[in-house]
Amino acid sequence: MATKLYVGNLSYQTTEQDLSRMFGESGTVVSAQVITDRDTGQPRGFAFVEMSTEAEAQAAIAANNGKNVDGRPLTVNESRPREGGGGGRGGGRSGGGGYGGGGRSGGGGYGGGNRY
């Protein structure tokens, strides 16, 4: 089963072809994806590379973690699943503040709770 690796601290000039070549020295690269900003299309400085086996993935980590590429030391480790769902922009903020109450006992915000 393929193992996905996180590659961080990438130069914005690094391409998927560069990654495939670099990681290909450690085994078979199933895929390489440079992550880009959804609005601007500009690279975000990290990528995911999928190696065909766990052993090849470990070899790729050993060979490339800390490796200096375009003046930047790469961070390479096994990809972890994303935390939480948060959704797109602004997600996740809940409750509190505003007028008249909120989640806190005693009422947050303005005019909440009887303080006299």
pTM: 0.71
Question: What would the pLDDT profile of 36-62 be if each residue is shown by its tens digit?
Answer: 999 999 999 999 999 999 999 999 999
- Predicted confidence at residue 81, as pLDDT, reads 86
Q: How many helices (H) and strands (E) does the chain have?
A: 2, 6
Q: How confident is the model at residue 96 (pLDDT cuts 50, 70, 90)?
A: low
pLDDT exceeds 60 at position 105: no
CA angle 31, 83, 60 (to 5 degrees): 35
Element (H, E) at 11: none
pLDDT exceeds 90 at position 76: yes
**Averaged pLDDT for residues 11-32:** 97
**3-35+47-70 homologous superfamily:** RRM (RNA recognition motif) domain (3.30.70.330)
| Per-domain boundaries in the chain | 3-35+47-70
